[in-house]
Chains A and B, each alone.
Chain A
Amino acid sequence: DQQVKQNSPSLSVQEGRISILNCDYTNSMFDYFLWYKKYPAEGPTFLISISSIKDKNEDGRFTVFLNKSAKHLSLHIVPSQPGDSAVYFCAASGSAGNNRKLIWGLGTSLAVNP
């Protein structure tokens, strides 16, 4: 059973517009959430994270929002650029012991069209 779900396998956005990638989780023990970006033939690279004590974290064009009551987080990219075209993975972890392993979603493939 998937504990971290990215329900949209793909997303297509025009350059300059906002990209919104969504992620849902089921385990209430998760308290740290991360987004990774992956280009073909490369390893995933860390993009941005958020702790459960916050509801928003911003880094340049990237903002992650966390809604704990809904067990939902989203990644906003504004403005989207063609170089943002990649697969985006959502991951979650708890604080202690085995809960600190990352649990991964299946990814959303983002295409930003010029």
Chain B
Amino acid sequence: NAGVTQTPKFQVLKTGQSMTLQCAQDMNHNSMYWYRQDPGMGLRLIYYSASEGTTDKGEVPNGYNVSRLNKREFSLRLESAAPSQTSVYFCASSEVRGPAKNIQYFGAGTRLSVL
């Protein structure tokens, strides 16, 4: 089982460049999330999608856009990358009901450097 797959694993951008981080899950989960992790800051929610067709802002949405392409895929786009967006990005998914509804399953992360 692949679980949550993120691509790419590493990326270096120049300031002002754009890119899309891809995430796909094969667990048939309804909810998906994008986080960033910075040293000393823990995990901060960027955007989430409670179900297919819906997206909502999290704690730190500025500079990002998301697309819930279908139930499996949730992408994160940086339109004009800035050095402050240098971080490790994690995608996660979860079910919305049942005993495991609060448990989020994470991908391995995308390490992004913006020069």
- Residues of B with C-beta under 8 A to A107: 42
Asked if A104 and B90 make an inter-chain contact with CB atoms under 8 angstroms apart, the answer reads no
In angstroms, how far is the closest chain A Cβ from the Cβ of B100? 9
Q: A43-B90, A44-B90 are in contact. Are A104 and B43 (CB under 8 A)?
A: yes
Q: Which of B60-68, B77-85, B103-111 contacts A (4 or more CB under 8 A)?
A: B103-111
Asked if B42 and A34 make an inter-chain contact with CB atoms under 8 angstroms apart, the answer reads no
Total B residues in contact with A, Cβ cutoff 8 Å: 20
- For A32, give its contact among B45, B102, B105 (CB under 8 Å): B102
Q: A44-B90, A101-B58, A106-B41 are in contact. Are A93 and B102 (CB under 8 A)?
A: yes
Q: Is A26 an interface residue (CB 8 A)?
A: no
Interface residues of A (CB under 8 A from B): 32, 34, 41-46, 49, 89, 93, 100-102, 104-107
Interface residues of B (CB under 8 A from A): 4, 40-45, 48, 58, 90, 92, 101-109
